[in-house]
């Protein structure tokens, strides 16, 4: 089933809108978790802001890997060159900022293939660590990353002012 899957690197910001539906599906999923008590952004506006982050990231050497079947995007990974910790020597590290698979394509190993591609790309440029965050309560994400060898390092806490 995943055999006809092609993963390619998207480098031209003019092409970014091909992943907009996948981002919107992920945003809806994040909101549906209900674990963060903040008002949700409108989906179109959410993509506008996210697109700006990707465009800026691509200009700074970030990677965007798109999984396609018959030319249709079914998942993508966005990986940024993150900073280093000031207290420890560990690093340099990349941040897996987004990893999404289309709802109808989950469970077929596309996420694993995107993650492996992201790791290979980062490793080829000397990045020895990979970091990812997931929203509290996202049990599928938790299971996926633990299976993939990730261990907890930090928690992000927040409050409305």
Binding region for another protein (CB under 8 A): 27, 30-31, 35-42, 45-46, 49-50, 53, 83-90, 93-94, 119, 122-123, 126-136, 142, 145-146, 148-161
Q: How far is the CB of 120 from another protein (least distance, A)?
A: 9
Nearer to another protein, 70 or 86 (CB): 86
Nearer to another protein, 61 or 83 (CB): 83
Q: How far is the CB of 148 from another protein (least distance, A)?
A: 7
| Residue 133 CB coordination number (10 Å) | 14
**Residues sharing a CB contact under 8 Å with residue 49, sequence separation 6 or more, in sequence order:** 41
As a residue count, the chain comes to: 161
Q: Any bridge partners for residue 19, and if so which?
A: none
Q: How far is the CB of 153 from another protein (least distance, A)?
A: 5
Q: How far is the CB of 96 from another protein (least distance, A)?
A: 9
Nearer to another protein, 79 or 102 (CB): 79
What is the C-alpha to C-alpha distance for residues 137 and 30, in angstroms, rounded to an integer?
10
Closest CA to 80 of 102, 57, 99, 100: 57
Nearer to another protein, 47 or 69 (CB): 47
> Angle of helix 20-33 relative to helix 43-59, nearest 10 degrees?
120
């Amino acid at each position: 089933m995943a055999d006809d899957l092609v993963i390619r690197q998207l480098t031209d910001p003019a092409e970014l809108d091909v992943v907009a539906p996948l981002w919107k599906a992920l945003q809806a999923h994040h909101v549906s978790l209900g674990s963060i008590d903040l008002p949700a952004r409108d989906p179109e506006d959410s993509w506008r802001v996210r697109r700006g982050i990707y465009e800026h990231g691509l200009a700074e050497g970030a990677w965007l890997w798109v999984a396609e079947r018959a030319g249709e995007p079914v998942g993508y990974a966005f990986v940024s060159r993150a900073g280093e910790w000031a207290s420890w020597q560990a690093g340099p590290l990349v941040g897996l900022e987004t990893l999404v698979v289309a709802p109808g394509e989950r469970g077929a190993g596309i996420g694993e293939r995107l993650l492996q591609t992201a790791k290979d790309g980062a490793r080829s440029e000397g990045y020895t660590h990979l970091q990812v965050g997931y929203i509290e309560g996202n049990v599928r994400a938790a299971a996926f990353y633990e299976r993939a060898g990730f261990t907890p390092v930090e928690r992000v806490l927040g409050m409305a002012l």
